[in-house]
């Protein structure tokens, strides 16, 4: 599968996707399909755990794409049963380029039976928890923050697994959307702020949990609703969905970057089409940062809906000025230095006939380090563009994310050290404008924009206002934004 963005190394990366099914024959096959639809959330590795009433728990964890691993019949036959969960990962708190021991779902054997968990998000006090657990005798198998949850569950005195999980998660800070399973139960939990997504679907007599609705579509499941922030659902084939709220209630802080970039455009978030939100971001951008130009081009694919909105609102014609090679998969071998140096041209090409002599507005979803923006600008100029104007569908990314998204260190983020005008000079473009935070909130359906006293979303990577203090990072010397 080609990366979600052709310049993946200059983009923030979502860390994980989770999926689970109960109450259908050969649940693992549905999970494999669901994970395939969530592949954009993590391409490094994936795993599935299933349970069969007589054959017990089975697990397969592999590096690589879902389609390369979980499509072989012989492998899928090793994952029988009506209950299964799965996980795709990039890599986050675990080591980068990690070992198979870091690939989820993780499994724990407790006195009352086994349990497997798959976690999307990041535990911001994992280092402190791990130290404490190791001092008290826990033996960790992986370098992943998520394994803390299994060890906390093992130490809990509660009588059943869902209660042990609640106990464990009350000690955990940060972001978690979890899909877990016992021998008979599918469990879904979202952290009290609901930072990462999780939705509930119905498939025949069974149920599904998924990071995004696009993965429900692929298995023919119907969206029932989102799991609410702070909610735990315990689902069995016989009794259906039992819901409760084990955590102290807090005002939700869903990740606004899911709207901008991470989620697939065919997913629904908060009842809104992600595609429509992105298109609306383009509309807001055109109102906030108009420019005289001849052509609006997306940086494919993630800039496309915003470029469509920009073109519509501004009246400037829309065109595919950059064409992406759809077949640039990870299997492409770059055999020589000369070919490796071709870099972006392996992945994107400029539509010269369209660009030549035009004043071009390039719409992209974000600027992280800025390295790729410079290359794209140069390609457009080399193709004979008269002017290049960048319009960016997110505010300047000036702070790292500690809630399950891989971000460069703060000093590597262009916007952390430069003003907008300095970034424009650095990128050497005719103009550079980012959507405002208020404009982004309006596009996401908040008609009055951002509520600065209690923001409706997490937007810490733009604002520096972290809804959960990243305590491990603060202990390592990370400086929070000074109070204004
Ligand atoms: S810091 Fe940014 S990427 Fe991370 S959860 Fe918040 S909005 Fe999302």
- Ligand 1 centroid–CA 12 distance in Å is 10
- Ligand 1 centroid–CA 403 distance in Å is 6
Q: How many CB atoms lie within 10 A of CB 26?
A: 18
Structure tokens at 340: 């490796």
- Ligand 1 centroid–CA 279 distance in Å is 20
Hey, which of 12, 253, 255 would you mutate to test ligand 1's pocket, going by the most ligand atoms within 8 Å of its Cβ?
Answer: 255
Is residue 25 classed exposed, middle or buried when 0-12, 13-18 and 19+ CB atoms within 10 A define those classes?
exposed
Question: What atom in ligand 1 is closest to the CA of residue 399?
Answer: 1
**What predicted TM-score, i.e. pTM, was given to this entire model?**
0.93
Residue with tokens 């909610």: 231
Residue with tokens 């807090």: 250
- Ligand 1 centroid–CA 74 distance in Å is 40
Query: Which positions are catalytic?
Result: 16
Hey, which of 403, 465, 473 would you mutate to test ligand 1's pocket, going by the most ligand atoms within 8 Å of its Cβ?
Answer: 403
Question: What atom in ligand 1 is closest to the CA of residue 467?
Answer: 6
* 202 vs 217: CA distance, rounded Å: 11
pLDDT digits (tens, 9 = 90+) for 324-375: 887 655 444 445 556 555 666 777 889 999 999 999 999 999 998 888 888 8
* Alpha-carbon 321 to chain mean position: 27
Evaluated on CA atoms 370, 284, 466, 119, the torsion sign reads negative
Residue nearest to atom 4 of ligand 1 (CA): 401
Question: What atom in ligand 1 is closest to the CA of residue 175?
Answer: 5
Quote the strand ranges of 37-102, DSSP E.
45-52, 56-63, 83-89
pLDDT digits (tens, 9 = 90+) for 165-212: 999 999 999 999 999 999 999 999 999 999 999 999 999 999 999 999
pLDDT at 301: 86
Residue nearest to atom 8 of ligand 1 (CA): 255
pLDDT digits (tens, 9 = 90+) for 406-426: 888 888 899 999 999 999 999
């Amino acid at each position: 599968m080609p990366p979600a963005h052709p310049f993946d190394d200059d983009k923030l990366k979502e860390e994980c996707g989770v999926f689970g099914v109960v109450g259908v024959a050969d649940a693992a096959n549905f999970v494999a399909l669901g994970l395939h639809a969530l592949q954009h959330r993590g391409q490094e590795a994936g795993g599935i755990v299933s349970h069969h009433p007589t054959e017990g728990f089975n697990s397969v964890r592999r590096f690589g794409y879902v389609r390369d691993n979980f499509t072989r019949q012989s492998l899928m036959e090793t994952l029988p049963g009506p209950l299964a969960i799965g996980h795709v990962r990039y890599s986050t708190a675990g080591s980068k380029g990690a070992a198979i021991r870091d690939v989820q779902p993780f499994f724990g054997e407790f006195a009352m039976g086994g349990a497997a968990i798959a976690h999307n998000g990041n535990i911001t006090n994992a280092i402190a928890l791990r130290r404490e657990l190791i001092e008290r005798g826990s033996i960790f198998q992986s370098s992943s923050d998520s394994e803390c949850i299994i060890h906390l569950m093992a130490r809990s005195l509660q009588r059943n697994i869902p209660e042990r999980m609640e106990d464990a998660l009350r000690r955990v800070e940060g972001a978690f959307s979890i899909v877990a399973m016992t021998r008979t139960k599918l469990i879904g939990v979202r952290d009290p702020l609901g930072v990462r997504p999780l939705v509930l679907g119905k498939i025949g007599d069974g149920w599904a949990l998924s990071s995004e609705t696009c993965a429900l579509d692929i298995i023919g499941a119907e969206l029932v609703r989102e799991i609410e922030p702070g909610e735990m659902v315990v689902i069995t084939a016989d009794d259906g969905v039992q819901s409760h709220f084990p955590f102290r209630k807090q005002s939700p802080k869903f990740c606004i970057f899911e709207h901008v970039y991470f989620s697939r455009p065919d997913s629904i978030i908060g009842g809104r089409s992600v595609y429509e939100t992105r298109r609306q971001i383009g509309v807001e951008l055109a109102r906030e940062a108009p420019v005289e130009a001849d052509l609006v081009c997306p940086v494919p694919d993630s800039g496309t809906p915003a470029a469509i909105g920009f073109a519509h609102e501004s009246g400037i014609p829309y065109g595919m000025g950059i064409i992406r090679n759809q077949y640039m998969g990870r299997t492409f071998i770059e055999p020589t230095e000369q070919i490796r140096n071709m870099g972006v041209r392996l992945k994107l090409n400029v539509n010269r006939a369209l660009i030549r002599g035009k004043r071009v507005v390039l719409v992209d979803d974000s600027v992280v380090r800025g390295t790729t923006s410079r290359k794209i600008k140069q390609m457009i100029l080399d193709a004979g563009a008269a002017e290049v104007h960048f319009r960016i569908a997110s505010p300047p990314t000036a702070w790292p994310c500690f809630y399950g998204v891989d971000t460069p260190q703060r000093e590597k983020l262009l916007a952390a050290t430069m003003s907008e005008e300095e970034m424009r000079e650095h990128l050497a473009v005719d103009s550079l404008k980012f959507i405002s935070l208020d404009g982004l909130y309006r596009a996401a359906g908040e008609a009055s924009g951002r509520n600065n006293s209690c923001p409706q979303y997490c937007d810490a990577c733009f604002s520096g206002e972290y809804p959960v203090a990243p305590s491990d990072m603060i202990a390592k010397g990370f400086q929070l934004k000074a109070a204004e």
